[in-house]
Chains A and B, each alone.
Chain A
């Protein structure tokens, strides 16, 4: 187990390093650098100023040297400043990460809760199974940004019950959480149906039933723990999709999370912020995948 954790952590570090290198190079190869942007913003800058600024910020150095200097600074915890927000990047990332984690946690919890309930319904009452499968098929195909717009039109514009966007109390969370949850609900419902049907067909369920255990106890104590392993596999595989969904949801509902921060940074040509936000998002996603993998091995020691 410790060996597994160590090798997986090493993989995450390597992936993050390769990702940062590729993204840095692609961005640096683009025509125009921050000094060009500064010139565009202030016509009084002369070409001598530009050359002096390039030297000051090391932009006249070869690419590899610039990457190594940047990576070294990041490893020392110096994340630099955001051009777009005129703030230290570190001060922007913290609150955004917290906001995103709240959204992601609630949406994942709701998706698992509703998905597993639907799966249990389909597994226990086969007559409902086609309906659950149909709902899952449709839910899987709904573009989440469309669902978000429709929810805004219905609940914010027409009915006026909920705010259309922004961040505040719990009322601001309802629509984004429902939007993000719906996109991920389908996979959980389908997998829960399959896993619970398989678990309910096993001999130990018959034994429990023969011993007089109630249906509720059979489902909760005997079938669900066994069905939990494939669901955790799904959670591990879907971590990236969930984070991708958060970017869309945050953009539609104007929530200041990591996804929106990254999107704003990309749109505002603030590539230092975009790159660091991407790295944080990627590392957190990979750590979440690792956590789900470990939980799965803890639940089913045969996998370890």
Chain B
């Protein structure tokens, strides 16, 4: 838990510090310099340079900004949607519950990546999103991932909400005439903090992994904007010239997902942030 939070904190600091790191090293991560292709790690280029002579460390840090933004956006959206749907299903029950959970089961039964590949290849203009820019890529991928990511959250929230709704203090609140909205928001929702936190942590890891997979396949964040996934796609074409270039982006993804899973595990075992 502590290790996970520390790792996540370091990754976010690294992402935030990317522009200052660029100033300190004195390079532009987007500026090709063809005289400095495939340089070995050195004091000026701590991780060496890529096939266009751009600094790998800086691209890795800027990639962290993109990858973590997508991951957090998608996970927060998925958590919000999933919590609402899970709560609604548990609270209304009956037909609503059946319809919403059938929908969740249906989505869960489908292989996610083949579907995402088709959806990511569609023209974003169809659903009214701007196309082309890195920012719109980030938004497009986050929306897609949230559209699939809510299922896990909703199932977890529904299961926990069902047990909370049956507890005595909820019945007491209702008997005292507390409105249903207040029951849900003030009495049920706080009890769901742990499962929601677990689902969010897992969703961040899942979204980072999914974004890098889509970017790796050339359907996510398009170059020249760096993302860990498209850096790896680049590295795969250069396994003969620069085998080391493949190491760092993958390691960054690995650490991010590992940190999220550790945090989720920690919350599941009952450790709060302070323990």
Contacts and interface: CB of A to CB of B under 8 A. Distances in A.
Nearest to A23: B118
Contact of B239 (A157, A240, A263, A286): A157
A146 B122 contact: no
Interface in B112-142: 112-115, 117-119, 121-123, 125-126
Given A30-B123, A146-B232, A266-B117, A285 B111 contact: yes
Given A143-B250, A143-B253, A157-B243, A278 B109 contact: no
Interface stretch (B41-49, B55-63, B181-189, B210-218): B210-218
B262 interface: yes
B66 to A, nearest CB: 15
Nearest to A143: B253
Interface stretch (A73-81, A87-95, A241-249): A241-249
Contacts of A240: 108-112
B106 interface: yes
B101 interface: no
B153 interface: no
Contacts of A285: 109-111
A278 B240 contact: no
Contact of A278 (B114, B235, B254, B261): B114
A157 B111 CA distance: 32
Main secondary structure of the interface of A (DSSP, over half): helix
A197 interface: no
Contacts of B117: 247, 262-263, 266
Contacts of A247: 111, 113-114, 117
A178 interface: no
Contacts of A248: 113, 213, 216-217
B254 A281 contact: no
A277 B115 CA distance: 11
B192 to A, nearest CB: 22
A121 B225 CA distance: 45
B149 interface: no
A278 B115 CA distance: 7
B112 A267 contact: no
A99 interface: no
Contact of A262 (B114, B119, B243, B247): B114
A251 B106 CA distance: 26
B270 to A, nearest CB: 17
B261 A140 contact: yes
Contact of B250 (A138, A140, A146, A241): A146
B257 interface: yes
A152 B253 contact: no
B118 A278 contact: yes
B246 interface: yes
A282 B250 contact: no
A158 interface: yes
B121 A266 contact: yes
B64 interface: no
B195 interface: no
B113 A244 contact: yes
Contact of B126 (A30, A146, A275): A30
B106 A137 contact: no
Contacts of B246: 146, 149-150, 153
A30 B125 CA distance: 8
Contacts of A137: 258, 261-262, 265
Interface string B147-170: 000000000000000000000000
A26 B250 contact: no
A145 B232 contact: yes
Interface of B: 106, 108-115, 117-119, 121-123, 125-126, 205, 209, 212-213, 216-219, 232, 235-236, 239-240, 243, 246-247, 249-250, 253-255, 257-258, 261-262, 265
Interface of A: 11, 15, 18-19, 23, 26-27, 29-31, 137-138, 140-143, 145-147, 149-150, 152-153, 157-158, 237, 239-241, 243-245, 247-248, 251-252, 259, 262-263, 266-267, 274-275, 277-278, 281-282, 285-286, 289
6 contacts: A11-B106, A143-B212, A157-B243, A248-B213, A259-B114, A263-B217
